[in-house]
Amino acid sequence: MTTDELRDAYLDFFVSKGCVRRPSDVLVPNDSTVLFTPAGMNQFKREFMGLGDPTFTRATTCQKCLRTGDIDNVGKTAFHETFFEMMGNFSFGDYFKREAIHWAWEFLIKILKLDPERLTITVYLDDDEAYDIWRKEVKVPANRISRLGEDDNFWPAGAPTHGPNGVCGPCSEIFYHGNGPKEVEIWNLVFTQFNRLGPGELEPLPKKNIDTGMGLERAAACLQGVPTVFATDIFKPIVAAVAQQLGVDYVADGPNGTRIRRMADHARALTFCIHENVKPSNEKQGSVLRRLLRRAVIDAYQMGQRDPFLHELPTVVAEVMGRPYPELKESVPRIRNVIREEEEQFLRTLDNGLKRLDDLFRKTKAAGSDTIGGKEVFDLHQTYGIWVDITDSLATEHNLRIDRAGFDKSMEAHGEISRPMKGAAAVFATGPLDTLKSSYHHGSEFLGYTTTEAEGKVIGILEQGKLADSATAEADGAPLVVLVLDRTPFYGESGGQVGDLGEIKGEHFLFRVTDTKKDNDFTLHIGQVIEGTVTLEETVQARVDPERREAIRRAHSATHVLHHALHIHLGKHAQQAGSKVEPDRLRFDFANPEAVGRERLRSIEETVNERILRAEPVSWTTMPISEAKSLGAMALFGEKYPEVVRVVQMGDFSRELCGGTHLDNVGQAGLFKLIGEESVAAGTRRITALTGKAALEYVRQEEDLLAEVASTLKVPTNLVAERVSALLEEIKTLKKQASQRRTDTTPRVSADDLLAAATVLGDVKVITQLVDGSSPDELRQLIDVLRRKAETGLAVLLLTVADGKVSLAAGLTPDMIARGLHAGLWLKDVAPVVGGGGGGRPDLAQAGGKNPEQVPAALEKALESIKAKLAS
């Protein structure tokens, strides 16, 4: 049975048992307790609490998941992965233990036709009910059922004794015993039947739930009779592609087997994450991606690969995973661009970083120690991009460890400690809106597609995060109040569109709305009570600022037209990666490997305005998401959509999934003016544009500026460019003449003179010198000459003063960088002395300052700093 067939068989089986088939949640959920979706149950947390969709009480999914807790085991063990798929079936106060156990056995024996003799069961020590079902009803022999304690067969692990308080329950695990030496856990059945009140105090829940998880790849390996997930039909082509890219044969137990498997796993994880618009960075989800990518690059580097290669693998991943996830294929160009740019950036510093790391390993062992200092680990992280977990993993291969506490101290000193994620206790935490949801399951009804004014009822008041019965006008500076209405014309910020402003009036109060958000299906009207007192159940009139809403509609509809124009002029790869829609202003992020040239930008702007001139109608309708996708409606990757979606259509040229407010026809946008294009991340560009009145005002300001320049230059506006060119040429000539005069009159210092005057520190020559009459470019040129002449053992920092400002430049020979020195960090020590700042690469860096009188002190600091760095 193939992996795709297994996935279908599982879902079809549980649909036959009355479960509603739900799509996989996104990898990055709207959930502050996790970075990535770690299990199938996460998208159903509200259902487990009785606060979710009441239309179904049992469900089944195949969920995309990503975990990094056991990342060091990936490639080393048979079944550890970062990205994986988790099949699950769930019950929310519906079926319970008996059905879950019987159905699991039925699926394994009758559908998958596994040999029952190869299956063993574990149950919680005190769960007699589960034991009896397995033993007396399913007829599993007693010698194949084990009773284990709360650390092994309870969720969360150890909860009865150690907590946390809240929903918990015993579990039963199913193991498959293949031909290998070790059994494989293929299914975990969790019976959430208790509410923990304290140590050993478990209160039965009024409604008991079922949460199960079967690892797709693990189960596939068992069915296909292969020893690891990397030998399954869904992984083999990726493993083979890695080996092919590296020009080697894959031998599972060979010296590079672990590395190749790890690279295959990480390539798969990167492909799915970047597809959902997660980008490598130093924060949150992005930091996980950067860690995975850099670990894979280091693996390849250690096998002799010096060129980018990882970006070639998403094509293979998309082909292998194409049946369940066909949308991957259209993202491949964007994914490749993001990975390649990140690879190239890392490879530029990796060689020196690994040399530094090897030197640390050698020195640590020579000193008779087994621990690499935290400061050194931090320097590798900060200077060369070799992250602490990677250093730790590589150190383990040399039977060394790192000083993690020392590293954390260095990170804290530089303000780079990330806040930890919330723990297990927060998984089922509830807030005031959850309480409100128990009475109003459907949240707030939005009326704003057709009106900016409507009557509603106050169903919730929040003051300082707590539900209240009323709120009274207070003096300015009082905490903000949140009103929740049963129906409202106010649009809550979402989908990139900002929230509405306006006012809510009752018989005895006036409330000014200064922002509107969405949360938990409710519209949150944020602001202050200006007059009187607002109370629950009061009937009110809600009025949105109509002019501001109209300006937002113009910008939002123009955003869709811009998306269409980008596809025309750049290609289908220019997929939306994010947006911000404000009154008559929009910001649109999209995939593209390079800057969009001036001529293309002009063509894009012209296409948008041509569409506006045609004034084609804008319409919308709701439909099942499957139907919308079949009609070609564009969706934002990484966004979670409901089963029924709103599709906005413009003429016959644009169809997108969108919940925002739009114009009646495109012509109402009036004018579209593109005012900026820039890079925001690897492979992602950003366009900023104006519409309507803001666009017209921008054009007027440009006209006024042009007229003012023309008046200053004393030429007509049509001759401004010509006159400016002539002036620039004149300035260029004058600068050349001035430079020549300076060259003729200023005694120049030579590289040989500087080398002869260098301070010698052991085997290193240090030059710290003021060079009069030189430009910043000349300082850099002089440093290049010095490094060529010296070849090794040189650290140089030069200063020059001109027009009351100080310019600094520092450079190092390659062997100095390999010893852990960094020109940019050296300058960061020195530049503040002259009232400046700057930085740069490890080999060459520049800075500026504004206090020339401090140059002697800066020279002293430069020598003092390099002495300290060499000593450490």
Which residues are annotated binding-site positions for Zn(2+)?
556, 560, 658, 662
Q: Check the CA dihedral 93-94-98-104 and report its sign.
A: negative
Structure tokens at 26: 């996104």
In the chain, what's the furthest Cα-to-Cα distance? 104
Q: What Å distances lie between residue 796 and 823, 848, 856, 868, CA to CA?
A: 9, 16, 16, 15
Q: What gap in Å lies between CA 119 and CA 96, rounded to an integer?
A: 22
- Would you say 99 and 283 are in contact if contact means Cβ atoms under 8 Å apart? no
Residue stretches of the annotated binding site: 556, 560, 658, 662
- Would you say 480 and 461 are in contact if contact means Cβ atoms under 8 Å apart? no
Across 302-416, the runs of DSSP E, i.e. the strands, are 371-372, 401-402
Q: What gap in Å lies between CA 138 and CA 145, rounded to an integer?
A: 12
- Would you say 211 and 171 are in contact if contact means Cβ atoms under 8 Å apart? no
Residue 720 zone, left/alpha/beta (φ > 0; ψ -120 to 50; rest) = alpha
Residue 427: CB partners within 8 Å, gap ≥ 6? Answer: 33, 45, 166
Across 451-508, the runs of DSSP E, i.e. the strands, are 453-463, 466-468, 470-472, 481-485, 487-488, 502-505
User: For strand 576-582 and strand 585-591, is the pairing parallel, antiparallel, or unpaired?
Assistant: antiparallel
Counting Cβ atoms within 10 Å, is residue 351 exposed (0-12), middle (13-18) or buried (19+)?
middle
Structure tokens at 114: 């596994």
Residue 185, H or E segment: strand 184-198
What count of other Cβ atoms lies within 10 Å of the Cβ of residue 655?
A: 18
List the end-to-end C-alpha distance of the chain, in Å, as a whole number.
60
- Would you say 461 and 467 are in contact if contact means Cβ atoms under 8 Å apart? yes
Q: What gap in Å lies between CA 310 and CA 370, rounded to an integer?
A: 33
Half-sphere exposure at residue 470, Cβ-oriented, CA atoms within 13 angstroms? 12
Counting Cβ atoms within 10 Å, is residue 2 exposed (0-12), middle (13-18) or buried (19+)?
middle
* Residue type for position 349: T
Structure tokens at 778: 């000349």
Residue 803: CB partners within 8 Å, gap ≥ 6? Answer: none
Q: What gap in Å lies between CA 369 and CA 377, rounded to an integer?
A: 15
The residue length of the chain stands at 872
**Nearest CA among 256, 255, 215, 250 for reference residue 231:** 250
3-state helix, strand, coil in the chain (%, to 5): 45, 25, 30
Structure tokens at 21: 């088939």
Token pair 């310019």 in the structure block, residue: 807
**Nearest CA among 71, 86, 576 for reference residue 293:** 71
CA 632 to chain CA centroid, nearest Å: 27
